[in-house]
Structure 1
Amino acid sequence: MGDASIDLGHARQHAIDALLKILHDEPSIEKAVLGQDLFGLLRVILWLGSGADETGIRSRITQALGPCGRFWEGEIWVSNEETSFADNRVYSAAWEEGFEVPGIHEDGHDVPLTDRLRIDDRTRTRTAWLPRFREPVWTPRHGWNEGKSTDEEATVGPPVVVFYSFKGGVGRTTALAAMAIQLARMGERVFVVDVDLDAPGAGTLLSPDEGGVTRGLVDYLLDAQLGDVDINDYVHRIRREKLVGDEGGEVIVMPAGSVDEHYLMKLARLDLEIRGTHHPLEHVLHAARAKLEPDWILIDSRAGLSPAAGLLLDGIAHLHVLFATSSAQSQLGIAQVIRSLGAERIRRDYEQANVIVVHAMLVDIADVEKLARPQFHAWLDEVLEAQYWVTKESDPEDSYWNTGDDGKQDAPGDAIEIPYRYRFAFFSSVDDVVLDLLEGPYKALGRRVLMQFAAAEAVDGSERG
């Protein structure tokens, strides 16, 4: 590794590999933290046992991390009997907030793991994308508010489904609207949240029966910091029969907000970073469950690697519907998301997050389809094999999505195809295309979502297993 050419990612990985080897060879090091300041400079904290050769250990680490170049300035802090109480508190805090290292080296080979090394990075933004994963806010259960016991009230709730795409303009919001309408026509109450804060659309597409609210999610997040708020003041309802049918269902929409001359100012005040254990969206979900009692919560995500998308893909939801196209840009981004939802969680002893993959914008031209369809499926198979599945042999209790599930109709590898529709290029209201949203690929996507939660007779008993 050359000093001038090495980048931060390779320097960090080299430091991890070097420290893992040193810890393996030096049992007198009780534990260690590899830290990083806001500028990417690496530093090491050591806890040494009695009799440790501190001078020798320092020398070995300094030499081993030398190839990290400009990202390594030789900063080694040691906690021992002579360390001050104040310094020890700082060191202990770094250990407590750190996370265990990944289990795979950058070149794909296994490295010797140890619970004696943690990584503590200092970050400015996009904290939700970093590997401090969480579990969903509650256990999903269709019909959760029917016949629940007092003991279950805080532990069960409606399924939370996130719709995400790496690139915009791929029909993600339209598919979410189709899902909401299908569920409402089954007599369900659906809560839709527009978290595409930089380019809101769900609140406009799913327009209110009349009037509407001038506030939305951005306002709710800002107002809730100042005191109690009522979520009902930030939503509008859709009950018109042409859209939701006559089974008693409804769609409750929390738009991003009113995109007026004040919206950008509000957005600039919004902090979507995770501070400690606080998740900015948990308050919204709990308020919705308590005040609106929805049967389903559908969330429209911002595209790309945005802070808002990170919040929705860190494990808080029960299902993630990922929209990818045949373009290289889209597939590169979705591959990183699948890795985050799969391999990165597995390496830290979490189950994979549940996903459905949609092959979006498939052009209805025979010659194009002939090339695009096999390329997409080959790409998806390769990504899932490397970044999502575990082997069937390593999962005897069938706790994960494993290679034995490949080919099942509810498994992530069975992509839903939603072709490009020219008539969707322009329509004045979703009411004009509602019949299109109830059939074909949208119906297939709706059925797949229902299958994940065994939520309808149409599932025909097909469940994960």
Structure 2
Amino acid sequence: MITFDQTLPVAREVLAIHHDQISKLDWLILNRDLNGRVRFIVPEEIGADEVQRPEIEAVYQSLSKQLELHAYPIDSGILYEATQEQAHYGAQAFRLDGFDNVWIVDRLANESGWESIAEVAGGAPRIVFFSIKGGVGRSTALAASAWALARAGKRVLVLDLDLESPGLSSALLPSDRQPKYGVTDWLVEDLVDNGEPLIQDLYATSGLTTAGEIYLVPAHGRDPGEYVSKLGRVWMPKIRAQMQAESWSMRLNRLVNTLEERIRPHAILIDSRAGIDEVAAACVTDLGAHTIFMFAIQGQQTWTGYRALLSHWQQRGVITDIRGRLQLVAGLVPDDERRLDYLAILRADAYALFADTYDEVEPGAISDWNFEEDDDNAPHSPLQIRWNRGWYGLLSLQHRMVQVDYSEVHSVYGELIEFLNRSLTQGQLA
């Protein structure tokens, strides 16, 4: 029995057997549809070629037999297009290993894909707090980081994009300072060209006693309203003139740009949804992040998820576009005698995760992207956040941040804060 994961390895084997026929084509696309079934798309002139058409039909027939239910019947398994661009039909494409002229196009049910890596945005650095699973202290770390940066005199824009599990605003804003609207309100109103009037009521300042200021955009306003109904619409593309669609992540980017122009922050901190889905993808890959903090705790769930993500980037050939922005953060590090052992195990697992993304270097050669396991400047070297019961969770964090002193924050989040301050000072994130 053939399963989805075997479709590309089987296709690679079949095409290798028929290399002579495949090499004659200017291009060939393996199209995997929404159900995971495979078709060929070839240049339309092949359809009229009495020699090449039967050859390609024979290759596809061989592949169809191998793929079983994951292929179309021979009479509907080959499509013809005038150009390769038309064959892509707006979808991302990546090369099949071992072939210069064979491309894979995956048709996905969601708009946002992890393989489309936006260039680093200009202006204020966009720093994404991301985790594969929840409960690792990600949002609390963001709140503490925002406070520390504001204490140092920075204007910090914070966006709660964990839309399906909102709560960051309660950490930084008392109930009487909550803004009227939130991200979900804007995304829904923007669909009907009513987003602009919401901007001035979309954020609020923290009111904390700091030299700088925190501007927070919550997931929803002080009255959530029909939040579930709105949430079901935020991912919608916006249809513009000439029936052109603006994806929801493009709309989100437009919102961030608008807020940045209005507030002029020194840094933008983004709380991403946990997991591997289109919402997290938008935060990590679509918004032009300068730095992506990958929160981890020791455990197989963490590494299984991150391994799937990095493998996807490698398969799609985009790992080099994003690897320089990644930085591991170790959450919930024991603040006792277990700490060193915990960090040693986590660093070893992190190195195993990142090692395949580093450049292979011959003896005596030099590379800008090659790190040893014990290199403290490597992205796999974790910035540690120590476990502290008083800082775990968001329920009373706003009250704590009114009273807390810097030494207490630094004892828990020092390495993370120092990384941010050093990066901003040195211009690495500016």
2:297 alignment partner in structure 1: 325
Distance 1:196 1:430 in 2: 18
Aligned AA (2:146):
A
Alpha-carbon displacement from aligned partner over 1:429-455 (angstroms, at most 9, x marks no partner): 43425336631241210111233x3x2
Residues 1:355 and 2:326 are matched in the alignment: yes
2:235 alignment partner in structure 1: 271
Give the conservation status (yes or no) of the 8 Å contact 2:385–2:415: no
Residues 1:95 and 2:115 are matched in the alignment: no
Give the conservation status (yes or no) of the 8 Å contact 1:195–1:300: yes
Name which of 349, 368, 373 aligns with 2:343.
373
User: What root-mean-square deviation, in Å, do the aligned CA atoms of Structure 1 and Structure 2 show?
Assistant: 3.2
Task: Name the stretch that deviates more: 347-356 or 264-273.
Answer: 347-356
State the identity as a percent: 22
Distance 2:39 2:68 in 1: 13
Alpha-carbon displacement from aligned partner over 1:277-304 (angstroms, at most 9, x marks no partner): 7623211221012111111100001111
1:112 alignment partner in structure 2: 98
Distance 2:106 2:58 in 1: 23
1:147 alignment partner in structure 2: none
Structure 1 segment 226-245 matched on structure 2, within 5 A: 226-227=192-193, 228-230=195-197, 231-241=199-209, 245=210
**Larger relative helix fraction:** 2
In structure 2, relative to structure 1, the CA distance for the partners of 1:92 and 1:260 (3 Å cut) is: closer
2:282 alignment partner in structure 1: 311
Distance 1:121 1:423 in 2: 46
Distance 1:276 1:32 in 2: 29
Distance 1:328 1:96 in 2: 38
Structure 1 residue runs of 5 or longer lacking an equivalent are: 80-86, 104-110, 140-156
Give the conservation status (yes or no) of the 8 Å contact 2:348–2:373: no
Name which of 378, 385, 389 aligns with 2:355.
385
Give the conservation status (yes or no) of the 8 Å contact 2:160–2:271: yes
Deviation at 1:174, TM superposition (A): 0.8
Give the conservation status (yes or no) of the 8 Å contact 2:137–2:392: no
Aligned AA (1:28):
K
Distance 1:172 1:354 in 2: 17
Residues 1:200 and 2:181 are matched in the alignment: no
Distance 1:406 1:378 in 2: 7
Distance 1:185 1:351 in 2: 30
* Matched residue SS, 1:67: helix
Aligned AA (1:255):
P
Distance 1:357 1:348 in 2: 16
2:226 alignment partner in structure 1: 262
* Matched residue SS, 2:188: helix
Name which of 150, 172, 181 aligns with 2:147.
181
2:396 alignment partner in structure 1: 428
1:343 alignment partner in structure 2: 314
In structure 2, relative to structure 1, the CA distance for the partners of 1:23 and 1:233 (3 Å cut) is: farther
Distance 2:95 2:155 in 1: 41
* Matched residue SS, 1:414: coil
Give the total of aligned pairs.
Answer: 409
Residues 1:32 and 2:28 are matched in the alignment: yes
Task: Name the stretch that deviates more: 173-182 or 64-73.
Answer: 64-73
Distance 2:325 2:415 in 1: 17
TM-score (norm 1): 0.78
1:151 alignment partner in structure 2: none
Name which of 104, 115, 134 aligns with 2:118.
134
1:301 alignment partner in structure 2: 272
TM-score (norm 2): 0.84
2:378 alignment partner in structure 1: 411
In structure 2, relative to structure 1, the CA distance for the partners of 1:309 and 1:10 (3 Å cut) is: same
Aligned AA (2:86):
A
Alpha-carbon displacement from aligned partner over 1:375-418 (angstroms, at most 9, x marks no partner): 211111111102x2123459x895xx611476554430221121
Give the conservation status (yes or no) of the 8 Å contact 2:21–2:55: no
Give the conservation status (yes or no) of the 8 Å contact 1:392–1:404: no
Distance 2:392 2:373 in 1: 35
Distance 2:32 2:90 in 1: 13
Give the conservation status (yes or no) of the 8 Å contact 1:19–1:61: no
Structure 2 residue runs of 5 or longer lacking an equivalent are: 239-244
In structure 2, relative to structure 1, the CA distance for the partners of 1:353 and 1:325 (3 Å cut) is: same
Distance 2:69 2:92 in 1: 24
Distance 2:13 2:289 in 1: 33
* Matched residue SS, 1:63: helix
Aligned AA (2:55):
G
* Matched residue SS, 1:313: helix
* Matched residue SS, 1:29: coil
2:241 alignment partner in structure 1: none
Aligned AA (1:77):
I
Distance 1:61 1:189 in 2: 59
Give the conservation status (yes or no) of the 8 Å contact 1:272–1:308: no
Higher RCO structure, 1 or 2 (CA under 8 Å, sep 6+): 2
Give the conservation status (yes or no) of the 8 Å contact 2:94–2:317: no
Alpha-carbon displacement from aligned partner over 1:293-346 (angstroms, at most 9, x marks no partner): 111100001111232111112252111011111121122112333445x63565
